[in-house]
Amino acid sequence: MAESLVSPLLEQITTIATQQVQEEVTLVVGVEEEVEKLTSNLSAIQAVLEDAERRQLKEAVVRDWINKLKQLVYDIDDVLDEWSTAILKRQTHEEAENQAVSKKMVCSFLPSPCSCFQKVIHRRDIALKIKKVSERLDVIAKEKARYRFESDKGIEETERLIMDGNDLEESYTATSYERVRHSTVELSSQGHFPVSIYKAKNLRSLLMINATNPSLGATLPDLFKQLTCLRSLDLSRSSIQEIPIEVVKLIHLRYLDLSYCRKLKSLPETICDLCNLQSLAVSWCDSIKELPQATGKLTKLRHLMVDYSGVAFIPKGIERLSSLRTLDRFPVCSDGENASKAANLGELKNLNQLRGSLWIEKLGNMVDVSEAEKAELKNKKHLQRLALWFDGEKTELRANEEALIEALQPPSDLDVLHIEDYSGIFLPNWIMSLTRLTKLELVDCGNFEVLPPLGRLPNLEYLELMGLKQRRLDVGFLGIENVDKAYINEGELARVPAFPKLKQLKIWYLEELEEWDDWIERRVGEKDATTSIIMRQLQELRISDCPILKLEDLEPRL
């Protein structure tokens, strides 16, 4: 829809104006009149787009007018994006200077003349670009009067280019390449990279498929220099070993997917200058050991995917990423050579937009409980799944882990909880407050003396117990420990709810488990389900590697 091309430009102009007011400074001086004219012309054109779109099917001159408008709209978007980026960089630079002022008091009052000169040149360059696109739009706006359009709304068309690395060197004209916005390139191991794609200067998205060719890495510096309008770049599953520093040229980039690049060893610090980056994926990048130290500069970042990668820690400064919605894995690094570079748990405090899954690993006795308290996980209202993995070195200081897990209280609406390798004797008190919990996994928590009354969790559908040292699963586990056993045997269980929604129960490697209480023997698979409220919805029961558990009485009833 043409409407969807023009409307975002008007919104972007408003946003930039607001940014400048909030900053109390005009980054680009002398363009107020041009911006006002730009806004006026865009609004006037927006009003006639639907009529123009209808007529362009039959009228070649109208079709040509729309095509010129579309090309210009993309150019305007680039200029506005560059302007917005300059404002964001200025904010980031000022924050960095403020942080350094205490360390370099003298230098902070003596800015580099060369640096100031470069800033002036850059700002003047933006002003000239705004003036240029405004003049071009003025011409197109005046042309619309010839066609006497009716005021209404319009639609858009998107041009795409699908390329094979082995051909298509000359099948597109220069004009055709200029109109390409989205491209998919399939690069086989024997093919060559189609350098003709460099002609698509206005390309917005690039997807590489089967990019196992070893020559791809060598082409990236030129690709980044040529395709500077890219918003989305997908290099996932490719054979690249590094991202060149020229990635800094992609100032408009929003989405960068490097997942499954198993040979990729590192990311350059220059990637942290991509102020508009919203999504960065390095999942399954086994060879990457750390993220750039200045990752905290990516203040627009919403999604940071590092799951199943070699990343050993999240760098300091993550607390600045207050818009972050996805952080699937947070390795704690409280000691060792990387401790000085690693973010601590307390830096999660400001990340209250986190949603989906969060896996916190390498928890242990070296982790400061006060940092866990600062994280304020309970304020992450959108978080759905939480995993706590205590895989640090084990000591006799179990009390620290018990205090630590107590401090990591999640939001009450949590859906899934996984606790692994925890050495405490008791589960945290907050676990029974998770009334919306549907899935609970307790793995290799070998010191539990007593399980809490998990049967009272009203929405629990899946329960997995693995590697525990329980000897019995009794009425305390059900949450009916205060009910007289004789009363239970009289068939009055309907008054004592336990696991009302449980559908799957899996028990693995409980090597010391000797027996169930007789509740399970009578109730699992019982025909008269209306009188039983203990696991009344149970559909699957799996028991494995429990060598001393006697199941003779249970088997006929399953």
> What pLDDT, on the 0 to 100 scale, is given for residue 327?
97
The yes-or-no verdict on residue 8 having pLDDT over 80 is no
Residue 475 lies in a domain: yes
Q: Is residue 377 a contact partner of residue 408, using CB atoms and an 8 Å limit?
A: yes
Residue 238 counted as domain residue: no
Chain position carrying tokens 């001086």: 29
Whose CA is closest to 297, among 80, 119, 96? 96
* pTM of the shown model: 0.76
CB neighbour list of residue 42: distance below 8 Å, 6 or more residues apart: 6, 9, 10, 137
Which residues make beta-bridge pairs with 541? 505
CA dihedral (513, 514, 519, 523) positive or negative: positive
- Which sign, positive or negative, has the C-alpha torsion 173, 177, 180, 186? positive
Q: What is the DSSP string of 249-276?
A: G-TT--EEE-TT-TT-----GGGGG-TT
When pLDDT is averaged across residues 549-554 and rounded to a whole number, the result is 66
Q: Stretch 191-201: mean pLDDT, rounded?
A: 83
Q: Which of 147, 169, 196 is the last residue of a domain?
A: 147
Q: How many alpha carbons fall within 13 Å on the CB side of residue 501?
A: 13
Q: Can you give the residue range of the structural domain that contains 95?
A: 3-147
Q: Read off the pLDDT of residues 498-547 as tens digits, 9 standing for 90 and up.
A: 899 999 999 999 998 887 765 544 444 444 443 446 888 999 999 999 99
Inform me whether the pLDDT recorded for 32 exceeds 80: no
Residues 6+ apart with CB under 8 A from 244: 220, 221, 224, 268
pLDDT of residue 471: 85
Specify if 271 maps to a domain: no
For residue 45, being part of any structural domain is answered with yes
Q: What is the pLDDT of residue 105?
A: 45
Distance (Å, whole) CA 549 – CA 19 = 67
Which tens digits make up the pLDDT trace of 63-77?
888 888 888 888 888
The number of distinct structural domains making up the chain is: 2
* Distances in whole angstroms, Cα of residue 89 to Cα of each of 19, 103, 254: 12, 22, 15
Give the end of a domain, one of 93, 128, 147: 147
The answer on pLDDT for 319 being more than 50 is yes
DSSP annotation of 139 reads H
| Assigned domain for 306 exists | no
Cα–Cα distance between 409 and 411 in angstroms, integer? 7
Rounded to the nearest 10 degrees, the angle between the axes of helix 113-143 and helix 32-46 is 30
Q: Mind listing the pLDDT tens digit for each residue in 88-123?
A: 777 776 666 666 554 554 444 334 444 443 444 456
Is 357's pLDDT higher than 90?
yes
Q: Which helix (H) or strand (E) holds 209?
A: strand 205-209
The per-residue pLDDT for range 452-474, each reduced to its tens digit, is: 999 999 999 999 999 998 888 88
Q: Can you give the pLDDT at residue 249?
A: 96
Inside any domain, residue 62: yes
What percentage of the chain carries pLDDT values higher than 70?
76
When the pLDDT of each residue in the chain is averaged and rounded to a whole number, the result is: 81
Decide if 84 is inside a domain: yes
Task: Select, from the ranges 5-9, 18-22, 87-91, 289-293, the one with the highest average predicted confidence (pLDDT).
Answer: 289-293
Nearest CA-CA partner of 318 in 302, 297, 339: 297
Angle (nearest 5°) at CA 333 between 468 and 329: 70
Dihedral pair phi/psi, residue 472, rounded to 5°? -140, 150
Q: Is residue 409 part of a domain?
A: no
Among 50-54, 168-172, 410-414, 424-428, the range with the most confident prediction by mean pLDDT is 410-414
How far is residue 530 CA from its own chain's centroid? 45
* Domain closes at, from 81, 113, 147: 147
Asked if pLDDT for residue 492 goes beyond 60, the answer is: no
